[in-house]
């Protein structure tokens, strides 16, 4: 009996040690490329052509000054990307949660068909509809505008599907029915009760939507033409496509490093809701 307990204890410690080793390896593989990026941001173009070195150089400030002194409006591009990404993340998560709530909480005709149709939209690549979308934007005279980049992001089938799955496992219908019996309106129930319970899921999808919109190059490159309206990925691509005399890899690396900080900041701001939701779920379980 004692030997069984001892062997069981050893197996638990062994599995825990293996899991820690695996997590350390995965963390190293994920963070190593950030380290390479920031190291390269401190090096000059000439040093970068000689190959990689793990030791930082002294050209970080100079690279940043060269980027700021260039013809491309990098700071304006970051502001443009922030406007589009923040609005897209906020509107996408709110209305996707509302759509998932409507499908989850109400019984109506064609409910299964609508849910299936929304999921089927996920199978359509963006590139397939790009030509028609661009023609529509030109006819509505919305070129060089943020509207074609923000409004379509509201309809996000992937976010809807995630929210609906989360509701089915974490939002009891008894709670919604109790709110209705107490006389709470539907918008009050959604905004005060459902949104509160959905904070972990909203935080996860807000991060994904923000990062996706922040890194989006294809659609903004079709819609935005003025340099003052372009987003950061487009400006980085223009830096990389400069001619031989103007091309500076150090400027490219420092711009990419500069563009990562808002993503890290958004994750740090929203991660507490994710951790809080996991902790609440573990206590509930």
Residue 7 pLDDT greater than 60, yes or no: no
The answer on 45 and 27 residing in a single domain is: yes
The answer on 132 and 39 residing in a single domain is: no
Q: Judge whether 267 and 207 are in contact, CB under 8 Å.
A: yes
The answer on 110 and 9 residing in a single domain is: no
How many separate domains does the chain show?
2
The answer on 84 and 50 residing in a single domain is: no
Q: What pLDDT does residue 275 have? A: 62
Q: What pLDDT does residue 210 have? A: 93
Q: How confident is the model at residue 271 (pLDDT cuts 50, 70, 90)?
A: confident
What's the rounded mean pLDDT across residues 181-203? 88
The answer on 39 and 151 residing in a single domain is: no
Q: What is the residue-averaged pLDDT of the chain?
A: 85
The answer on 87 and 180 residing in a single domain is: yes
Task: Give pLDDT tens digits for 128-161.
Answer: 888 888 899 999 999 899 999 999 988 888 899 8
Residue 10 pLDDT greater than 60, yes or no: no
Q: Which domain holds residue 30?
A: 2-61
Q: What pLDDT does residue 282 have? A: 42
Q: How confident is the model at residue 266 (pLDDT cuts 50, 70, 90)?
A: confident
The answer on 181 and 77 residing in a single domain is: yes
Any idea what the CATH number is for the domain that residue 201 is in?
1.10.3720.10
Q: What pTM does this model have? A: 0.83
């Amino acid at each position: 009996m004692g030997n069984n307990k001892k062997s069981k204890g050893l197996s638990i410690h062994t599995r825990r040690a293996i899991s820690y080793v695996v997590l350390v390896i995965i963390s190293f593989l994920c963070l190593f490329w950030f380290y390479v990026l920031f190291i390269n941001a401190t090096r000059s173009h000439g040093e970068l052509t000689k190959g990689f070195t793990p030791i930082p150089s002294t050209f970080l400030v100079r690279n940043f000054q060269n980027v700021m002194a260039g013809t491309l409006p990098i700071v304006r591009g970051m502001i443009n990307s922030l406007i589009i990404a923040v609005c897209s993340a906020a509107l996408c998560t709110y209305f996707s949660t509302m759509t998932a709530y409507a499908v989850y909480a109400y019984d109506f005709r064609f409910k299964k068909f609508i849910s299936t149709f929304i999921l089927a939209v996920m199978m359509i690549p963006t590139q397939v509809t790009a030509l028609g979308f661009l023609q529509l934007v030109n006819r509505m005279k919305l070129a060089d505008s943020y509207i074609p980049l923000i409004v379509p992001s509201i309809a996000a089938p992937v976010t809807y599907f995630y929210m609906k799955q989360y509701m089915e496992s974490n939002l009891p219908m008894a709670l919604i029915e109790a709110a209705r019996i107490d006389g709470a309106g539907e918008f009050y129930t959604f905004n005060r009760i459902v949104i509160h319970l959905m904070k972990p899921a909203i935080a996860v999808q807000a991060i994904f939507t923000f990062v996706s919109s922040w890194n989006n190059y294809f659609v903004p490159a079709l819609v935005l033409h003025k340099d003052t309206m372009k987003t950061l990925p487009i400006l980085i691509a223009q830096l990389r496509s400069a001619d031989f005399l103007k091309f500076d890899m150090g400027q490219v690396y420092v711009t990419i490093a500069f563009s990562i900080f808002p993503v890290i900041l958004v994750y740090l701001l929203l991660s507490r809701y994710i951790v809080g939701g996991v902790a609440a779920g573990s206590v509930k379980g």
